[in-house]
Amino acid sequence: MNGSVEQFFIEKFKRLQDKIVAAVMDGMRSGGEPDAMAAVDSVGRDDTIYKIDKLGEEQILDYFERRIRPEVSCVLVAEGIADGCAAFTHSGRAEDAEFLVIMDPVDGSRGLMHGKRSAWSLAGVSNNHEKATLRNIRAAVMTEIPTPKQALHDQLWAVRGEGAHGVRRDLDGGRFSELRLTPSSAESLEHGFATFCRFFAGVKDLIAEIEEEFVRSVSGFTWPFYYFEDQYVCSGGQLYELIMGHDRMVCDLRALLAHKMRERGDPAPLCSHPYDMCTELIAREAGVIVTGTDGKALAAPLDTTSNVGWIGWANQNLRNRYEHALREVLIRRRLLTP
């Protein structure tokens, strides 16, 4: 292996994600009716797997066996693979791996499979130890999986402590240009995009009540205070929107509300998982503030089943202005302790 471990994995992730992009796009072009890609393939503990997800997952195990295992030992944690992990070590045992790779091959498949919006292929790497969390990610790459009508797509990456980088690439000719990763410098949410995630029925009313209380507390609900929302059903895509300056705040409270839903006899909501957030390092290196719902650094274990609630602020000024008000709402509703 030439160069640093981080650069090794970044180059391997880029190439693997390029293969995933090609496979998914080929499948979408030749898959016939859009509903064919939207058919349910399987339902596991971590998430529902659609036909479009399988196009990405099929690229992974062979790539790790041929391109990564000969040079470094690692365990792969990913949505859609048997038991949620696979060991690429000489012994075949996960505990003997030096590194842990966590991936979501196709994050945002629900929008992509209907041609509505890009999905993202996500990957991050940490040292392999039983207490590894999102804070231990050393390097990460995220690659856009575009809708069939797009001619361009983006790829972003970061090494911890070295900043974030990105390129925009031409799908046909391979030409690319450097991306400027510039989170919004706005000091208010007004007239910008800020989103409380409420993708699925069952939890929408609880989240809407929290949002309304938050807005009233910061504005008195007096005109013209308002912001727009963007229900992008893709955690990686939401991080991208923050990184690129399109969104000012994203608030995903679903994991925090699971017990409330159980109390009223409803099933727990579908939440983000660590593999959905495995590229939050890129956002942090770009200057975005990403925290848990408690305001602390994300520290979810690197597995496929833990629920992750998170809040992203485009800059520190926005966090300073609004975080306390949001926290007070959550405390009043007994979702956080004082």
Compute the residue count for the chain. Answer: 338
**Partners of 157 in the beta sheet?**
141, 165
Dihedral sign (CA 280, 282, 284, 288): negative
- Tokens describing residue 122: 């996500």
**CATH of segment(s) 194-332:** 3.40.190.80
Q: What percent of the chain has pLDDT over 70?
A: 90
Split at pLDDT 50, 70, 90, the class of 48 is low
Ranking 139-148, 151-160, 161-170, 265-274 by mean pLDDT, the lowest is 265-274
Average pLDDT value for residue range 180-203 = 95
Note the pLDDT tens digit of each residue in 122-136: 999 999 998 999 999
CB-based contacts of 47: which residues, under 8 Å, 6+ apart? Answer: 79, 270, 273
Radius of gyration (Cα) for the chain, nearest Å?
20
| Tokens at 96, concatenated | 């003997």
Per residue in 279-308, pLDDT (tens digit) is 999 999 999 999 999 999 999 999 999 999
The token pair that represents 254 in the structure block: 């679903």
pLDDT of residue 34: 58
Q: Where are the domains of the chain?
A: 5-178, 194-332
- Quick one: pLDDT at residue 83? 80
Predicted model pTM? 0.93
Q: If you classify domain 5-178 with CATH, what class do you get?
A: alpha beta
pLDDT at 59: 78
Q: With residue 125 as reference, give the H or E element that holds it.
A: strand 119-127
Whether the predicted pLDDT of 67 surpasses 80: yes
The sign one gets for the Cα dihedral 30, 33, 34, 39 is negative
Residue 171: per-residue pLDDT: 87
Query: Bigger pLDDT: 219 or 89?
Result: 89
Higher pLDDT, 22 or 101: 101
